[in-house]
Amino acid sequence: MRRLLPILLVTGLLFWPCSLSDSLAEEGGANRAPSGVSFDASLDKLIAQLPQVDSEGKWDEEKKEYVENSICCTLRGRLARGGKMTDAQWRKALLDSGAIRIRDRWPEGEDFAISMRKPGWLGVAEIRMKPRTKGLKEAKAGMLFESTCGFYSNCVYQKALYQPLGMLPLGKHKIVFDVIVERGKEDGPFREKEATKPPPPSILWKGDMAFDIEVVTSIDECVLPVTTPPVDEAVRKAVGVAFTQWYFEGEPRPTAILVIDPDAKDYPVLVDMALSLTFEILKDGRAVDECHLTASTYDPIALAASVSKGDRQSIGFRSVNSVPAALKDKKEDRKNWSVRISGTSKDVIYLWEAKRRWSGSVEVPVDELIERERERTKGKERVWVYSPTLR
């Protein structure tokens, strides 16, 4: 339980904003800007320094606490005290931080969808986007109240990451949305008593956003298929096999875990690369099992298990009963086992930062995959916790 606690805390804090008193202290200098960040109090420059929504803070292992990005806290403090942003500033803040993500190309025959995330600097808030195009549904992110359940908040967060709005015909379209950003009630039962009264519910912004969208005939026109020796090698190094006690019908059982944990710091070719992979489990060259797995950022609970050194992490893992758990310790038995890994286009359209997808194929000995996992985790077992998402 002690190992799981930081994960649960981080998950809850992803949806729990920094307190208003923290925001006030930030502008007073109690919390300085992170090392390497050029702090500037002007609103335009403040917005320009906003991090991506999924990089607004991190767990400090030494302090045993979640450290919020100071830029986010400062902007939240300004908005809480009645600060105003122009239409252009709102659009830039929401788009540049990745709060709203829309592809400019979309495959024909697939419901047009968008991705939304409520940034921490909005506090307790909801963003609603209503398209003016007839037949398209409204999309939203966030909540107008403080949830006391981190898992419920996680489900709300995941649902907003992929929101199908409706079908669009082949060709070019201009989609205009009426956007409302509304502040909710900051009066949750776990909120600490603060010297400053929380801001009242209100409409923070009401405006519009327009996007040029082209519906094309193939998903490969949206996410470019790529395979080169350097990319193939980077993908190979992203995959590993771990072992853990996995529960089946309430009973723990030694189980192999297939892991995709790409490290874009060591392998920059993976920065904008979608990894949607099919795995064929081979024994003596013959397939005994097949499964699919996608590396994504959809599940912050699962993402806490990543050991990637890059700022933008993604992960995918699942149990594989076809790989004998005995291979963990019996190295001599591994020689007959391998995994054929192939890139696919499944779900890549929903990996919003991906501009390319791996389309190659490699066969890797299971022994290599097991040893790689031990090396990158330094022999420590990860905590395998997830909630339903892209699997």
Q: What is the DSSP string of 364-381?
A: EEHHHHHHHHHHHTTTPP
Q: Where are the domains of the chain?
A: 5-219, 223-376
pLDDT exceeding 70 applies to what percent of the chain?
Answer: 86
Would you state the pLDDT for residue 67? 86
Copy the structure tokens of residue 35.
């090392």
Would you state the pLDDT for residue 165? 98
Question: What is d(CA 20, CA 197) in angstroms, rounded to the nearest whole number?
Answer: 8
pLDDT digits (tens, 9 = 90+) for 362-389: 999 999 999 999 999 998 999 888 766 5
Rg (CA), the chain: 22
- Helix, strand, coil % in the chain, rounded to nearest 5: 30, 30, 40
Do the beta carbons of residue 276 and residue 357 sit within 8 Å? Answer: yes
pLDDT digits (tens, 9 = 90+) for 66-83: 888 999 999 999 999 999
Which residues of the chain register pLDDT less than 70?
1-41, 188-196, 387-391
The pTM of this model reads: 0.85
φ and ψ of 75, to 5 deg: -65, -40
List the 171-183 sheet strands across, edge first.
105-107, 202-216, 171-183, 125-131, 139-142
Cα–Cα distances in angstroms (integers) from residue 223 to residues 104, 205, 215, 272, 381, in the given order: 11, 33, 13, 10, 34
Would you state the pLDDT for residue 32? 38
Would you state the pLDDT for residue 104? 97
Would you state the pLDDT for residue 5? 43
Would you state the pLDDT for residue 251? 84
Would you state the pLDDT for residue 325? 94
Residue whose C-alpha is closest to residue 302's, from 143, 141, 154, 160: 154
